[in-house]
């Protein structure tokens, strides 16, 4: 028996596999592409910028991988061949898709894994604010103080775009000084004064007023509710509630009658109630309301602002700042001992803070440098508390605080990130903030890479209230809910729109996302979850009965009008124009965020619809069909509009409707694969059937957010593995998060390319 050398055997095996692949390509792929695709995608036409002639050989599976991914996506969704064109039998299309997927999978397995690399990551505004909060207990609104962060791949936590300008560095220095002063409280406060902001007081009704105002110092303040008017001697007292930032601080009975002994007749009576409370520097909401007013129903509406016949809250005043009677929360967090007691205490405070701020143990030279800042300030005549503020400022402007920097393995090699780096990746993914003490402790003990430990930490962190940042920052950008602040629906057409309704919509979507995350619900809930979170205002907006009060609560949805996130007011409003709905914006929204198949940018000089005739001379559907008659518009609008029409039962601020102007709403449409629907519920049922594509889209976006970099060609194998693992666990949200944190791109990094690799490139 002749034995072949092992190397030669491998060559023969590979050659045999390549030969078999070529045979299959010749029989499964080339004939279908030639017969079905080359008529439009050829050297002359190149429809959609694609020339299929470059994909007619097996080598194209490697050389033109990106193009094959696009082709597969179009074929899977049924977008190609386009409607109206002859389509090959489904078994032929499926055979091509399965063959190409299998070949690409084989190529990926034979390719050296590449986890990619993340550049040095500057804390974005949200991460900075949250980190300051968890490090020092100081509430700092970086979104108000710093310029907006740039976005990449749809998110503002991508390291490549988080640059640092000289202006931002100046902002960092100013902010660090302010934050350190607030944390320690070493600087003297100005003399107390009264802040009267009548122009900022908003009246909700006769019994409720609210003031939005800013205080500059972390200190005690008097919140005073001024009351005007009176009623008769037999009227019952009212219950006044003074609240700050939604939290009731004082509830008291207020007499409403004039004195029975000394009748004042028509003269105006004034009184006030006040409460002293600690406030952090920044914007606050102050509210005064008669929560229980049994006599108001007996006073005619036209007389309720008559000071001789009624009593009501008139204004709110803020008086301060006053020195706190006891250490405020930030001081308790920072001043673990008295800095005036000596160097040992100062070293203990600074070492503890720097350890957390740098997200790793600090070195002796670093500790010595911070101690010198304290000593130099004290020598210059500053108090121990003020000297400590200088040292804390130095921590907050250090690159070790402002940047997350990971060590590279050797050039061109792949290495595991350290446990400390893993702790930061995990905390900034789930919390948009620094690791807490437990996470740091496990990382420093070298236990965080252990699968049971990592999984337990993930579950603990998701259960923690700080995971709300994932809803705020990931969902806010994925679902584009951050754009709500910029949306201004036309007041004449939508008189019900208000800042409170906008905030209620935002709260609904945030709480819905948090419920899916924390309850480990299936991802399909985003499409058709039959529950949501509303208060009385939003419930009335949706036509949901039985909900009263300002508190949000979970409600089950028992009609086909509402289910999932895409029938929520926030999504429907950001995908509309100020004056009307937009099937284009809504269709594009679904293509980008659900199907992961964004359309190309529109051509220049696209004619706009005549807004005056929408719903008057013609229905919106009729006008859009006329628009699609233009061949230059048809290719994209045939994909977007039919999806957008599926949401036409919802007006531009998310209310259910059956009429659009004079015309009945027709929500019928069809997906690119030809499957049609006639109602929003039927459209969502088809979306639910398309779970793999929705999961792929969501997976790529969540992986981008988790890594802080875009998904690259080398991540394709990872994305497929994530899909497989998530599907194996019934598409549960936490199974996707678990799969991401165990993936190679999350746990490893590639070193810089070697000089040889760069020269070859």
Q: Tell me: the pLDDT tens digits for 155-212?
A: 999 999 999 999 999 999 999 999 999 999 999 999 999 987 788 899 989 999 999 9
**What span, in angstroms and rounded, lies between the C-alpha atoms of 573 and 653?**
5
Decide which of 49 and 417 is more confident. Answer: 417
Decide which of 386 and 78 is more confident. Answer: 386
Q: Are residues 579 and 487 in the same domain?
A: yes
Average pLDDT, the chain: 89
Q: Are residues 209 and 77 in the same domain?
A: no
316 domain-assigned:
yes
Question: Do 287 and 249 contact (CB within 8 A), yes or no?
Answer: no
86 token code pair: 């002859």
**What span, in angstroms and rounded, lies between the C-alpha atoms of 686 and 5?**
55
Average pLDDT estimate for 300-329: 91
Average pLDDT estimate for 316-323: 95
Which of these, 428, 204, 481, 186, lies nearest to 316 by C-alpha position?
Answer: 204
Q: Are residues 62 and 210 in the same domain?
A: no
Question: Do 522 and 731 contact (CB within 8 A), yes or no?
Answer: yes
Average pLDDT estimate for 450-461: 98
Q: How many CB atoms lie within 10 A of CB 465?
A: 9
CB-side neighbour CA atoms (13 Å) of 402: 17
Give exposure, 260-270, as e/b (b: 16+ Cβ within 10 Å).
Answer: eeeeeeeeebe
Percent of the chain with pLDDT over 90: 68
Q: What is the DSSP string of 167-211?
A: HHHHHHHHHHHHHHHHHH--SPPPPPEEEE-GGGEEEEETTEEEE
Decide which of 311 and 110 is more confident. Answer: 311
427 domain-assigned:
no
Which 8-state DSSP code applies to residue 733?
H
- pLDDT tens-digit map of 404-442: 999 999 988 999 999 999 999 999 999 999 999 999 999
Give pLDDT, residue 404.
96
Q: Are residues 96 and 205 in the same domain?
A: no
Residue 206 CA: distances (Å) to CA of 200, 248, 310, 422: 17, 19, 10, 55
131 domain-assigned:
no
Give pLDDT, residue 150.
95
Least confidently predicted of 261-265, 266-270, 673-677, 689-693:
261-265
Give pLDDT, residue 4.
42
Question: Do 233 and 257 contact (CB within 8 A), yes or no?
Answer: yes
Q: How far apart are the first and last CA of the chain?
A: 47
Give pLDDT, residue 57.
93
Return left, alpha or beta for 379; rule: phi > 0 is left, psi -120 to 50 is alpha, else beta.
alpha
134 domain-assigned:
no
342 token code pair: 């000596």
pLDDT category, 754, cuts 50, 70, 90? low
Burial class of 548 by CB neighbour count within 10 A (0 to 12, 13 to 18, 19+): exposed
Counting other chains too, the contacts that 231-234 makes at CB distance below 8 Å and 24 or more residues apart are 231/256, 231/257, 231/258, 231/295, 231/299, 231/309, 231/310, 231/311, 232/257, 232/258, 233/257, 233/258, 233/260
Question: Do 41 and 81 contact (CB within 8 A), yes or no?
Answer: no
Among the candidates 632, 655, 684, a domain finishes at: 684
pLDDT category, 612, cuts 50, 70, 90? low
Q: Give start and end residues of each alpha helix (H) in 494-534.
A: 499-518, 525-528
Treating both helix axes as pointing N-terminal to C-terminal, what angle do 691-707 and 680-689 enclose, rounded to 10 degrees?
70
Q: Are residues 91 and 235 in the same domain?
A: no
CA dihedral 62, 68, 72, 73 (to 10 degrees): 120
Q: Are residues 211 and 90 in the same domain?
A: no
Which helix (H) or strand (E) segment holds residue 701: the answer is helix 691-707
Residue 642 CA: distances (Å) to CA of 81, 113, 585, 634, 684: 17, 41, 11, 11, 13
Average pLDDT estimate for 253-257: 87
Q: Are residues 210 and 90 in the same domain?
A: no
Residue 485 main-chain phi, psi, to 5 deg: -65, -25
39 domain-assigned:
yes
**Token pair 């996470």: residue:** 439
Decide which of 82 and 666 is more confident. Answer: 666
**Token pair 């969704």: residue:** 77
Q: What is the DSSP string of 332-397?
A: HHH-SS-GGG-HHHHHHHHHHHHHHHTTSPPPHHHHHHHHHHHHHHHHTT--HHHHHHHHHHHHHT
**What span, in angstroms and rounded, lies between the C-alpha atoms of 462 and 515?**
11
Identify the sign of the CA torsion 736, 742, 745, 747. positive
Task: Reply yes or no on whether the pLDDT at 7 is more than 50.
Answer: no
Q: How many CB atoms lie within 10 A of CB 237?
A: 17
Bridge partners for 289 per DSSP: 208, 241
392 domain-assigned:
no
Count: domains in the chain: 3
**What span, in angstroms and rounded, lies between the C-alpha atoms of 371 and 387?**
10
Average pLDDT estimate for 363-386: 97
Which 8-state DSSP code applies to residue 473?
I
231 domain-assigned:
yes
Least confidently predicted of 40-49, 377-386, 629-638:
629-638
Which of these, 257, 253, 258, lies nearest to 238 by C-alpha position?
Answer: 253
Task: Reply yes or no on whether the pLDDT at 6 is more than 90.
Answer: no
Treating both helix axes as pointing N-terminal to C-terminal, what angle do 451-463 and 437-444 enclose, rounded to 10 degrees?
170
Q: Are strands 403-404 and 238-244 parallel, antiparallel or unpaired?
A: unpaired
Q: Are residues 496 and 636 in the same domain?
A: yes
Average pLDDT estimate for 673-689: 89
344: Cα separation from own chain's centroid:
43
Average pLDDT estimate for 512-533: 97
- pLDDT tens-digit map of 462-481: 999 999 999 999 999 999 99
The whole domain housing 229 covers 193-322
Among the candidates 48, 81, 110, a domain finishes at: 110
Give pLDDT, residue 8.
41
Average pLDDT estimate for 688-710: 94
Give pLDDT, residue 15.
44
403 token code pair: 């940047």
Among 28-42, 414-428, 741-755, name the most confident range: 414-428
**What span, in angstroms and rounded, lies between the C-alpha atoms of 691 and 595?**
9
Give pLDDT, residue 16.
47
453 domain-assigned:
no
pTM: 0.87
Task: Reply yes or no on whether the pLDDT at 24 is more than 80.
Answer: yes
Bridge partners for 227 per DSSP: 271, 313
CATH number of the domain encompassing residue 198: 2.60.120.260
- pLDDT tens-digit map of 536-555: 999 999 999 999 988 999 99
Task: Reply yes or no on whether the pLDDT at 258 is more than 70.
Answer: no
**What span, in angstroms and rounded, lies between the C-alpha atoms of 686 and 528?**
11
Q: Are residues 236 and 104 in the same domain?
A: no
**What span, in angstroms and rounded, lies between the C-alpha atoms of 383 and 374?**
10
Give pLDDT, residue 331.
93
Q: What is the DSSP string of 23-84?
A: HHIIIIIHHHIIIIITTTSSTTT-GGG--GGGGSSTTHHHHTHHHHHHHHHHHHHT-SSPTT
Among the candidates 684, 705, 738, a domain finishes at: 684
Q: Are residues 105 and 201 in the same domain?
A: no
Give pLDDT, residue 634.
54
Task: Reply yes or no on whether the pLDDT at 657 is more than 70.
Answer: yes
Give pLDDT, residue 636.
58
């Amino acid at each position: 028996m002749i034995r072949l050398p092992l190397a030669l055997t491998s060559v023969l095996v590979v050659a045999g596999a390549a030969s078999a692949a070529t045979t299959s390509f010749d029989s499964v792929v080339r004939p279908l592409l030639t017969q079905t695709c080359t008529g439009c995608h050829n050297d002359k036409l190149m429809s959609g910028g694609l020339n299929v002639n470059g994909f007619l050989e097996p080598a194209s599976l490697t050389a033109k991988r990106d193009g094959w991914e696009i082709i597969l996506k179009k074929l899977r969704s049924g977008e190609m061949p386009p409607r109206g064109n002859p389509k090959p039998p489904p078994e032929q299309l499926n055979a091509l898709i399965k063959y190409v997927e299998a070949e690409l999978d084989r190529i990926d397995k034979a390719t050296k894994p590449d986890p990619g690399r993340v550049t040095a990551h500057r804390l974005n505004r949200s991460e900075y604010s949250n980190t300051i909060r968890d490090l020092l207990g100081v509430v700092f609104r970086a979104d108000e103080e710093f310029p907006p962060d740039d976005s990449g791949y749809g998110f503002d936590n991508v390291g490549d775009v988080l640059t640092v300008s000289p202006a931002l560095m100046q902002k960092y220095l100013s902010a660090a000084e302010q934050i350190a002063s607030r944390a320690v409280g070493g600087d003297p406060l100005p003399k107390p004064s009264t802040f009267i902001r009548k122009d900022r007081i908003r009246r909700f009704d006769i019994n409720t007023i609210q003031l939005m105002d800013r205080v500059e110092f972390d200190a005690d303040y008097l919140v005073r509710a001024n009351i005007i008017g009176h009623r008769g001697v037999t009227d019952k007292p009212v219950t006044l509630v003074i609240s700050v930032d939604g939290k009731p601080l004082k509830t008291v009975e207020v007499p409403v009658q004039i004195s029975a002994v000394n009748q004042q007749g028509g003269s105006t009576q004034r009184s006030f109630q006040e409460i002293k409370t600690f406030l952090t520097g920044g914007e606050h909401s102050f509210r005064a309301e008669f929560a229980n007013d049994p006599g108001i129903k007996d006073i005619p509406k036209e007389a309720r602002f008559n000071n001789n016949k009624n009593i009501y809250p008139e204004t709110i005043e803020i008086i301060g700042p006053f020195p706190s009677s006891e250490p405020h929360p930030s001081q308790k967090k920072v001043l673990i001992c008295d800095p005036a007691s000596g160097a040992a205490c100062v070293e203990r405070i600074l070492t503890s803070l720097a350890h957390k701020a740098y997200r790793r143990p600090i070195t002796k030279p670093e500790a010595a440098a911070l101690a010198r800042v304290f000593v130099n300030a004290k020598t210059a005549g500053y108090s121990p508390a003020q000297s400590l503020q200088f040292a804390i400022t130095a921590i907050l402007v250090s690159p070790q605080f402002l940047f997350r920097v990971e060590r590279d393995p050797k050039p061109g090699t792949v290495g595991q990130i350290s446990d400390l780096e893993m702790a930061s990746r995990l905390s900034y993914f789930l919390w948009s903030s620094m690791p807490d003490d437990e996470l740091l402790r496990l990382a420093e003990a070298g236990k965080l890479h252990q699968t049971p430990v990592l999984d337990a930490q993930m579950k603990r962190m998701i259960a923690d209230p700080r995971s709300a940042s994932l809803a705020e920052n990931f969902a806010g950008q994925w679902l584009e809910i951050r754009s709500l602040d910029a949306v201004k629906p036309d007041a004449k057409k939508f008189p019900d729109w208000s800042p409170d309704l906008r905030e209620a919509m935002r709260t609904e979507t945030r709480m819905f996302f948090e419920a899916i995350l924390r309850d480990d619900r299936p991802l399909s809930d985003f499409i058709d979850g039959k529950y949501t979170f509303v208060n009385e205002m939003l419930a009335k907006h949706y036509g949901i009965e039985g909900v009263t009060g300002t508190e949000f609560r979970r409600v089950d949805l028992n009609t086909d009008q509402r289910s999932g996130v895409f029938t929520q007011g926030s999504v429907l409003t950001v995908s509309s124009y100020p004056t009307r709905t937009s099937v284009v914006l809504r269709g594009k929204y679904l293509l980008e965020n659900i199907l992961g198949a964004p359309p190309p940018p529109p051509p220049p000089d696209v004619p706009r619809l005549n807004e005056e005739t929408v719903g008057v001379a013609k229905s919106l559907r009729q006008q859009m069909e006329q628009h699609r008659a233009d061949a230059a518009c048809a290719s994209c609008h045939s994909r977007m509009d039919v999806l957008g029409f599926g949401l036409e039962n919802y007006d531009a601020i998310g209310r259910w409707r059956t009429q659009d102007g004079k015309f009945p709403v027709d929500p019928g449409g069809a997906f690119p694969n030809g499957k049609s629907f006639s109602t929003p519920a039927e459209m969502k049922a088809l979306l639910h059937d398309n779970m793999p594509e929705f999961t792929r889209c969501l997976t790529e976006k969540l992986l981008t957010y988790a890594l802080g970099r875009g998904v690259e060609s080398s991540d394709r194998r990872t994305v497929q593995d994530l899909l497989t693992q998530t599907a194996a666990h019934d598409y549960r949200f936490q199974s996707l998060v678990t799969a991401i944190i165990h993936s190679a791109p999350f746990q490893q990094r590639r070193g810089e390319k070697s000089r040889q690799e760069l020269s070859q490139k």
